[in-house]
A and B are shown apart, each in its own frame.
Chain A
């Protein structure tokens, strides 16, 4: 095999595909749940409500992390130029993760903030799955000869994921045995930020900085910005985690928050440069959705700063900025990115499975022809309409507005599922 190629390093499609199927169904489930949690969203202080905890975990684990896992098994060979360490480990991870998540989310829905055996079992299964996933990712990374900043971002993200889940399980057990003196709210904030900034954000930066030049056709990007971003986000996050747990003073939280935000701004600057220098001017639906994700990220930063500094004139209005902060990053930035990047990965996985050995021997469809571009564009627009309505609904705390938004998000999820399953059930066509 020639160096620098990854097709022969690609894992079996059967390892990757169940993640996309599960992820799409989890997104659909979450969108329907959104309709039933509008009251919770209206009244919520942070995310400390049983229904919101259930919804959040279905979104971050069942939808976003699940698709990320599947994509990462495919992308590790691309980014690191090595074969995935173990496919068996990946299959075991999927089985443990999906069953643990279902138990965990179901027990959150009826949670009474006390001892819950099902939640402890569910959380334990999720932790076991993440340990296996981390072993797989780190062992794969150890084989690479290319020590790039992209790889460092990915490995660090996996370590943050592990810490996030460990802390999550500590919180679950602390409800039963109350062995920590730190308040649950502070622990939950640490858990959330480790997951959102440590796992998701670092992973997105690592993967996007490798894929962006491929998809947009752009070269010679200033990766120095990414190096600074890495240290700012990680430094800020370590400080933020320590501050929340041991010294929750406003100035320290603000300082650590600003470090993270500066890192994100450098990453956004990197993207802006890539976008400006791109040769491929016309954006396909996958890239349009991804671009929307970055606009949502900018909004998250703004809301994060509002939550951090809490200007007194806003406090008096009781606006849902804290909940909105979570929504813009989970249902906004991350969901938009996963929706978009599905179209940049899944069709290629199926295409390679059926047509890798048939190219040149007959007319084969292009990967883009494996799904309906029309349906993808429709759900781009329903999402584009639904998200601002949801943001307004939560901001002003209006149940009807939130429910109208939920209908648009449900339509988005139905159309997305249509395309995902159309790709997954593709039948070979060679003329």
Chain B
């Protein structure tokens, strides 16, 4: 997965996304395994985030996506955030990190 091979510039963006919470479980979206890709596109001045949700029809889905957009653009004012939602590969609980599992309780 792309998040295992982030560049030195993309890694802080990935860390930044840990400030975005799923309001239902109160765990950040990185530790929930919802972020699939983070791409910093210097030529387009764009930060492209590919993410999923734990379930289709999630009532908080676009609130979370909007949160990603706001956080990225607030911290990288020269770039435009492009948040892409995908359903493939399908999210599974195996994608939750150890820290996420601990936080879920």
Contacts and interface: CB of A to CB of B under 8 A. Distances in A.
Contacts of A213: 55
Given A360-B66, A361-B70, A215 B58 contact: no
A218 B55 CA distance: 10
Contacts of A214: 24, 54-55, 58
Contacts of B61: 4-7
B67 A360 contact: yes
A217 B92 CA distance: 9
Interface string A203-243: 00000001001110111100000000000000000000000
A282 B84 CA distance: 32
A234 B63 CA distance: 38
Contacts of A8: 62
Interface string A50-83: 0000000000000000000000001001111100
Contact of A359 (B25, B63, B105): B63
A278 to B, nearest CB: 9
- Measured as residues with beta carbon below 8 angstroms from the partner, the interface class of chain B is 20 to 34
B56 A81 contact: yes
A235 B61 CA distance: 38
B31 to A, nearest CB: 12
Contacts of A359: 63-64, 66-67, 70
A374 interface: no
B29 to A, nearest CB: 12
Nearest to B61: A5
Q: Is the interface of A mostly helix, strand, loop or mixed?
A: loop
Nearest to B68: A360
Given A279-B96, A360-B71, A367 B57 contact: no
Most buried by B among A81, A214, A282, A360: A360
Contacts of A220: 92
Interface of A: 1-8, 10, 74, 77-81, 146, 210, 213-215, 217-220, 279-282, 348, 351-352, 355-357, 359-361, 366-368
Given A1-B62, A359-B64, 18 more contacts: A4-B58, A4-B61, A4-B85, A6-B57, A10-B59, A77-B57, A77-B59, A78-B59, A81-B56, A217-B96, A217-B104, A279-B93, A279-B96, A279-B101, A352-B63, A359-B67, A360-B71, A366-B21
